[in-house]
């Protein structure tokens, strides 16, 4: 129910904040009413819409092959939307034992024949020795996107987030913005987080093995003290249709970091190819003159 005009506003199951269509007042329902796990914290928006738009158009301006018209259209187009995107964060203490091999490079002298001449060369070889040991790492705030509305290649490019600035969740922060509920369940989020943890543990094992090369045969990890948080992170979003194509851009609502679908200008590419061909031709002509071919 809109607190300003009393209208009943229905929001989608993944939307928890919007604008009343009758009086344009912010309408907020407690995020998580459709979910078992409610948000524990969020990062408030630090950039307003105008600043986010400037960051986006500056980013487009640095893409030499982007159409000029798209940058102008984005600058003058409709407003960007501020959206709180759902994430999981996981903490865990890990202790791992491993078994593998350490490789040490050494060289042997060999005689080879090149162009009819005998030459002595140093050929690298690897000497492998068994290696085993233990590594430990505490993981703090492993961040997992809990939405499928935005491609992960976009959201991952917005990192890092200043998670130290998280504040306790309160619906008032959502006023004037949209907010998504999570659609990646907690257990699936933890599976993804474990994958990231395992990759870092494998890197730690390689460092621990040392040497010039490493082979990992087995890692056995004990995970304990696992905790999680459901949090919301601020993103400015814009989607534009330009000459029949749709382009999406996202801006980190804290840092102004931009990511989006890279647009291409056919005539700029053709012009660059033409210039490259002319330059290559000019260089070839100069070389031919110096060699007396022409």
The pLDDT, as a whole number, for residue 249 is 84
Pairing of strands 41-42, 213-242: parallel
Residues 74 and 170 in one domain: yes
Same domain? For 288 and 148 the reply is no
Write down the pTM of the prediction.
0.74
Residue 28 CB partners (closer than 8 Å, separation 6+): 16, 17, 171, 172, 174, 175, 179
Q: Residue 293 sits in which domain range?
A: 266-294
Do residue 160 and residue 281 come from a single domain? no
| 193, 77: one domain | yes
- Residue 199: CB partners within 8 Å, gap ≥ 6? none
Number of domains in the chain: 2
Answer yes or no: is 2 within a domain.
Answer: no
- Do 208 and 160 share a structural domain? yes
The pLDDT value given to residue 114: 81
Mark whether 288 and 183 lie in a shared domain: no
Q: What is the pLDDT of residue 37?
A: 84
Which of 10, 23, 59, 35 is closest to 236 using CA atoms? Answer: 59
Residue 179 confidence (pLDDT): 85
Low-confidence stretches of the chain (pLDDT < 70) are 1-2, 4-27, 29-35, 61-78, 241-243, 245, 261-294
Q: Is residue 10 part of a domain?
A: no
- Assess if residue 5 is contained within a domain: no
Tell me which long-range contacts 52-60 makes (C-beta under 8 A, separation of at least 24): 52/80, 52/236, 52/251, 52/253, 52/256, 53/80, 53/236, 53/238, 55/251, 55/256, 55/257, 55/258, 56/80, 56/236, 56/238, 56/249, 56/251, 56/258, 56/260, 58/258, 59/249, 59/258, 59/260, 60/263
Give me the pLDDT at residue 22, please: 43
| Cα Rg, the chain, nearest whole Å | 28
| Per-residue model confidence (pLDDT) at position 178 | 84
Same domain assignment for residues 222 and 250: yes
User: 277 and 190 in one domain?
Assistant: no
Shared domain for 251 and 287, answered yes or no, is: no
Looking at the structure, tell me whether residues 31 and 104 fall in a common domain.
Answer: yes
Q: Based on the domain organization, do 162 and 111 belong to the same domain? A: yes
| Domain membership flag for residue 169 | yes
How high is the mean pLDDT of the chain?
81
At residue 264, the pLDDT reads: 47
């Amino acid at each position: 129910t809109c607190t300003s005009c009393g209208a009943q506003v229905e929001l989608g199951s993944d939307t928890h904040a919007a604008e009343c269509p009758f009086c344009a007042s912010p309408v907020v329902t407690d995020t998580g009413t459709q979910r078992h796990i409610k948000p524990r914290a969020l990062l408030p928006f630090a950039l307003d819409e105008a600043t986010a738009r400037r960051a986006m158009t500056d980013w487009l301006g640095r893409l030499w092959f982007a159409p000029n018209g798209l940058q102008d259209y984005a600058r003058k187009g409709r407003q960007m939307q501020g959206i709180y995107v759902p994430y999981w964060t996981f903490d865990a203490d890990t202790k791992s034992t491993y078994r593998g091999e350490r490789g040490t490079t050494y060289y042997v002298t060999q005689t080879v024949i090149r162009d009819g001449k005998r030459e002595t060369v140093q050929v690298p070889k690897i000497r492998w020795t068994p290696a085993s040991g233990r590594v430990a790492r505490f993981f703090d705030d492993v961040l997992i996107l809990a939405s499928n509305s935005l491609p992960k290649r976009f959201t991952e490019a917005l990192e890092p987030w200043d998670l130290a600035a998280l504040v306790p969740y309160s619906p008032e922060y959502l006023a004037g913005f949209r907010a998504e509920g999570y659609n990646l369940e907690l257990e699936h989020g933890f599976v993804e987080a474990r994958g990231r943890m395992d990759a870092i543990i494998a890197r730690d094992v390689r460092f621990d093995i040392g040497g010039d090369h490493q082979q990992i045969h087995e890692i056995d990890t004990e995970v304990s003290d696992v905790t999680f948080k459901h949090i919301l992170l601020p993103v400015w979003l814009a989607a534009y249709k330009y000459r029949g194509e749709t382009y999406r851009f996202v801006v980190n609502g804290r840092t102004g970091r931009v990511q989006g679908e890279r647009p291409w200008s056919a005539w700029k590419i053709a012009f660059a190819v033409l210039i490259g061909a002319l330059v290559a031709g000019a260089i070839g002509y100069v070389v031919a003159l110096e060699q007396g071919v022409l």
